[in-house]
Amino acid sequence: MLNIYINDETSSLKSVILGTSISFGGVPSIKDAYDPKSRMHILKGTFPKEADIAKEMAAFEKILKKYDVKVFRPVEIPNLNQIFSRDIGFVIIDKFIVSNVLDKRIHEIEGIEYILEKIPAYRIIRLPVEVRVEGGDVMPWKDKIFVGYSKKNDFEKYQVSRTNEAAIEFLTTTFPDHEVLSFELEKSDTDPMFNALHLDCCFQPVGFDQAIIFKGGFKNESDYDLLVDYFGRSKIIEINRLEMYNMGSNVFSISPEVIVSDRSFHKLNNELRNRGFIVDEIPYTETAKMEGLLRCSTLPLIREKTS
């Protein structure tokens, strides 16, 4: 039995689902690309190869196991991209929420059903059809839940709008002891430089009280200001548009002190070390070509409870 528990992004990690690249389907057709960065690399002929992503994910798994994290992997489904396990579900406190994702991704949940069977059924929430949400947009943070979303006009306009207003209402009702703070994100189906696919593509808490953030990922400057005020200016690590494009905010915390990051993020990794973090660097640039990185590849199940 899995006693799931997640109440923040950084407490010591005990158990996680890491996606798999095995039989991910190769290079999709343009019509099957569901984010602008994948689309760009398909057109350029630089879409990643399965073997290269497998090496990157193996390096990630090795780091996780170095810190004694229990790692689950999805059952491999032929010709299905199962790399980004973050989006298909998420844990808040002791509830596992099964996401309502794009139709092209609905079969991904089948790969982790064997894990869900280890969780008491009353702790699993399957959402009403009108509630659309992906885990990359949802961040439990102590007494808050940060959520990236799109209002109706953008949600209906952009394929990259993955979380709607109904999800905000659902989370507010389901977790009344938490304050749900929602942020509209900038969206583009065609230009990855101007698309915040999920909240974790432009923002992520690190440590006990710090955060990485890209101002331009937020549709409303007031949302960016709210986060800066919440954490405090000195606790904010700003990244620029190119760093956002390269997925600079999509690192992954194994504990408040330990962060896994892409080895190409020289500026960010140096800044994190200057602030006292241990940074474990791995290669992940091929995976990033599909507009996801380290946080996107993981679905945390258990983090240590903190007072």
The pLDDT assigned to 306 comes to 79
The pLDDT assigned to 169 comes to 98
pLDDT tens track for 116-145: 999 999 999 999 999 999 999 999 999 999
pLDDT tens track for 164-222: 999 999 999 999 999 999 999 999 999 999 999 999 999 999 999 999 999 999 999 99
Residue 4 placed within a domain? no
CB 147 within 8 A of CB 200: no
Whether the pLDDT of residue 261 is over 70: the answer is: yes
The pLDDT assigned to 205 comes to 98
The pLDDT assigned to 167 comes to 98
Residue 237 placed within a domain? yes
Domain count, the chain: 1
Kindly report the length of the chain.
307
Residue 242 placed within a domain? yes
Mean pLDDT of the chain: 97
Residue 184 placed within a domain? yes
Whether the pLDDT of residue 235 is over 80: the answer is: yes
Q: What is the CATH number of the domain that holds 224?
A: 3.75.10.10
CA distances from 261 to 6, 181, 206, 251, 272 (A): 21, 26, 12, 5, 10
Residue 135 placed within a domain? yes
